[in-house]
Amino acid sequence: MSEKGASLAHIKELRERTGAGVVDCQKALKESGGDVEKAITYLREKGLAAAAKRAGRVAAQGVVGSYIHGGGKIGVLIEINCETDFVARTEDFQKLVKEVSMQIAATNPRYVRRDEVSDEERVREREIYRAQTEQSGKPAAVIDRIVDGKLEKFFSDVCLMEQPFIREPSKTIEQLLKEVVARTGENVVIRRFARFQIGEGEGSEAAGQAE
């Protein structure tokens, strides 16, 4: 295969795997010496930086999506916002809604992000982890570090944004969201969700609410 053909093939692969434009793919390949994996890392880093700059922009459009699993045994409703109706109707945005809905159905998070966890719950969890760690006979010097680690694991379990993405566990839902922000050029926000499961009653509902 010619050098030009290989370059075009790499560009095509990059576009399929990242959703980035042709010019961005060409630049990423140039910066990474033609290495596709390094180019993907380059695009993600650039995309995440751009996403952070957009985080403060108003996102008042979007969709309320739904997902039903297990023949009607589990149902999810989710609101994800963006800046324009145009982006809300794109395939990229609709795919995000579906992927996150499936994530919620599978992992049953309780919150969207950690700032929704009350101070009372944080204190209660920390006390439980401290008691567990002290009973294990760990040295006093490392107890605080172990407790902090357990609390971080708690957040990654119950907070949607910090959960590993079930389809690609190397990234979190927050990283998945920022990649969509980078590709669409708009601020995208997971606003809230509700999860329902047959047989668990009122206590089975999990809901998250953004600020």
Phi, psi (rounded to 5 degrees) for 177: -60, -45
Kindly report, residue by residue over 166-200, the tens digit of the pLDDT: 999 999 999 999 889 888 888 899 999 999 999 87
Low-confidence winner among 16-25, 113-122, 154-163, 197-206 (lowest mean pLDDT): 197-206
Q: Supply the pLDDT for residue 194.
A: 97
Kindly report, residue by residue over 128-168, the tens digit of the pLDDT: 999 988 888 888 888 989 999 999 999 999 999 999 999 99
> pTM of the entire structure?
0.69
Kindly report, residue by residue over 83-101, the tens digit of the pLDDT: 999 999 999 999 999 999 9
Assess whether 178 and 90 both reside in one domain: yes
Assess whether 109 and 82 both reside in one domain: yes
Place of tokens 């434009």: 21
Rounded to whole angstroms, the Cα distance separating 158 from 52 reads: 23
- What strands, in cross-sheet order, belong to the sheet with 74-82? 61-69, 74-82, 189-197, 206-209
Report H helices in 55-90.
85-88
Rounded to whole angstroms, the Cα distance separating 59 from 155 reads: 25
Assess whether 151 and 165 both reside in one domain: no
Assess whether 106 and 166 both reside in one domain: yes
Q: Cα angle vertex 106, ends 103, 109, to 5°? A: 70
Assess whether 50 and 86 both reside in one domain: no
Q: Supply the pLDDT for residue 38.
A: 87
Q: Which residue has the higher pLDDT, 16 or 85?
A: 85
Total structural domains in the chain? Answer: 3
Q: Which amino acid is at 20?
A: A
User: Residue 85's domain spans which residues?
Assistant: 61-114+159-209
